[in-house]
A and B are shown apart, each in its own frame.
Chain A
């Protein structure tokens, strides 16, 4: 109630008038009432009423926050957070080595960034994740939908059809092996057409469209509450050309990162970004580093770098708050993203398998 007038979210002109008239705290405004306010600072009664409603809303929000209730800021203990994390789902990638080093798969409510040279498989992984997020819960998935924002035009529908068909077939095999009723029922709605109709695709041609789309994303996600994955394929591409003002670019990118973090948390979805690589020329040699500069490195929570070693594709976990750095090999087959060899079936090496909804993977045939 003692909040200063200058910090209230009113129009600047109105704030200037209030300051000139001598108002200092929000309580003073509320005590004056709309008619008194309109007479003192010379605005209409409707405007005064609107301003007072805003003030009241703000003060209520403040009070709720200080009383420890749920407001715009969430407050919880680490124990509550631990329980939440343990029951949280992961989006599997069908490459168990990659899932292992990530601690189970792509985590919800976190931003994961995939960097790599052209042709190494970033878009393939994004398409695989857009299919995998829709796997029903009884098979160990999160049963969500996917938003795919494409800035490079590399989304190929036919490829997604192949990946979806392989995924559906995989689930059918598991259902047959386990012979349980609910698995069969879930499979009725899990078909290629269904998978495709739950991937929402946006094609952004430049950074303005990308910014506009991210502003509208919270509204879209509230309407489609089952979305659990937002993929932005090619966050670097629209920002790398036509930008003379690098400080503007940094500001826009930081704003984008903040909005994505809010989206990831509020809607409990995973955000996956792909980035390009650029060469940093050092004293005597040059190294390949992710594009968009150092400050962008802070935006993502988890960073994966895909690279080549002769003709083998490798993935390195470069930055993660809970897993250690490691490198694994993967393959891109006609069925999608896969391991190099069939994985061994031992539950102890499955990683922190604390998700009770996840069924253990049985020995299945890989293509």
Chain B
């Protein structure tokens, strides 16, 4: 929306050419200027410039919906609002399961079972809707090389023996889980940016990133100058793209995180190292 060219914002041809001479081609450039600068650049009077601002704003402003319309849309298709984890007490606490359309974060100390949980959710997502799944493909971004395909088959065969009764079915399931091994922050971000097309072409219904914290901790030493800004930049950029994907396609996105001990003057309490959904990042 921000990179929308002014031509498509219904400004006249000559106005676009004139603005182009000042390197103002997108709506973002236009809206970042102050009124006086806009007057100088467009050569129009104050009131004309305000009208132009409204025109450009209308081109990139979001559409209005009332909360009632949102609720109606959700209630039309209630089963697609959650991915049930098949753990009844967890589903009860989450009011149905992992919600579709938003980011969910799983955090724990090492060895508690985050990767196992992710593998199980991948199996669940490939199941048909009648069995509580999402009947779709899974994108699994693995930064720790912890994903084991054998374990995947073991879980599937033991958990749903009646459904996965033949090797054929198992292989079909494994074919719809797309694994990407990314080992640096830069690669992870590039991969996230390229996900939109993959989601449409492969009919993806679940995205898992395991784990964000390991790749961030490897690369950013928070004691070094300037690393904090870069780290929070990377996290917020990744978070906003993932949120957009989750909302646009109404699919769940799962991220795993690590626990670290924060040394403070009081009793040492546990705190999340990185919280991409709503980042408590260190200052710039």
Q: Which residues of A contact B (CB under 8 A)?
A: 9-14, 54, 117-119, 130, 148, 152-154, 157-158, 160-161, 193, 195-209, 211-213, 215-216, 219-220, 237, 240-242, 248, 251-252, 255, 276-281, 285, 289, 291
Contact = CB atoms under 8 A, between A and B. Distances in A.
A50 B240 CA distance: 46
A197 B279 contact: no
Nearest to B95: A158
B62 A205 contact: yes
B43 A12 contact: yes
A11 B2 contact: no
B260 interface: no
A216 B102 contact: no
B45 A11 contact: yes
B278 A118 contact: yes
B46 interface: yes
B57 A216 contact: yes
A240 B236 contact: yes
A235 to B, nearest CB: 14
A208 B62 CA distance: 10
B32 interface: yes
B45 A10 contact: yes
Given A157-B74, A241-B232, A118 B61 contact: no
A12 B244 contact: no
A14 B283 CA distance: 47
Contacts of B34: 251, 255
B280 A117 contact: yes
A279 B283 contact: yes
Interface string B1-34: 1100000000000000000000000011001101
Chain B binding surface, main DSSP class: helix
A242 B283 contact: no
Interface stretch (B63-71, B114-122, B178-186): B63-71
Contacts of B48: 11
A12 B282 contact: no
Contacts of A205: 1, 62, 240, 244
B243 interface: yes
Contacts of A208: 1-2, 27-28, 31, 60
B57 A197 contact: no
Contacts of A278: 280-284
Given A10-B45, A248-B32, A255-B34, A209 B53 contact: no
Interface of B: 1-2, 27-28, 31-32, 34, 39-40, 43-48, 53-54, 56-71, 74, 95, 102, 232-233, 236-237, 240, 243-244, 246-247, 265, 275, 277-284
Contacts of A204: 62
A9 B62 contact: no
A9 B45 contact: yes
B70 A118 contact: no
B1 A209 contact: yes
Contacts of A12: 39-40, 43
B74 A158 contact: yes
Contacts of B279: 118, 240, 276
Contacts of A201: 64-67, 70
4 A-B pairs closest in CB distance:
A9-B46, A118-B278, A241-B236, A208-B2
Contact of A213 (B40, B61, B246, B280): B61
A100 to B, nearest CB: 29
A197 B56 contact: no
Contacts of B32: 211, 248, 252
A242 B27 contact: no
A279 B74 CA distance: 38
A148 B39 CA distance: 32
Contact of A202 (B59, B64, B102, B247): B64
B57 A212 contact: yes
A289 B281 CA distance: 12
A10 B44 CA distance: 7
12 contacts: A9-B46, A10-B46, A11-B43, A117-B280, A157-B67, A201-B65, A205-B1, A208-B60, A213-B61, A219-B54, A241-B236, A280-B283
Name, among A158, A219, A251, the residue most crowded by chain B CB atoms within 10 Å (CB to CB): A158
Contacts of B281: 240, 278
B240 A157 contact: no
A12 B56 CA distance: 21
A200 B40 CA distance: 36
A213 to B, nearest CB: 5
B56 A119 contact: no
B236 A153 contact: no
A215 B236 CA distance: 25
A154 B240 CA distance: 12
Contact of B57 (A160, A198, A199, A215): A215
Nearest to B74: A157
Given A209-B61, A281-B283, 10 more contacts: A14-B45, A117-B280, A157-B67, A193-B68, A201-B64, A202-B62, A208-B27, A216-B57, A241-B237, A278-B283
A153 B40 CA distance: 37
A70 B182 CA distance: 64
Nearest to B63: A202
A281 B282 contact: yes
Contacts of A11: 39, 43-45, 48
B56 A212 contact: yes
A161 B58 CA distance: 30
Contacts of A117: 280
Contacts of A237: 236, 240
Contacts of A240: 232, 236, 279, 281
A216 B280 contact: no
Contacts of A252: 32
A213 B64 CA distance: 10
Contacts of A209: 1-2, 60-62
A196 B71 contact: yes
Given A11-B44, A241-B240, A203 B278 contact: no
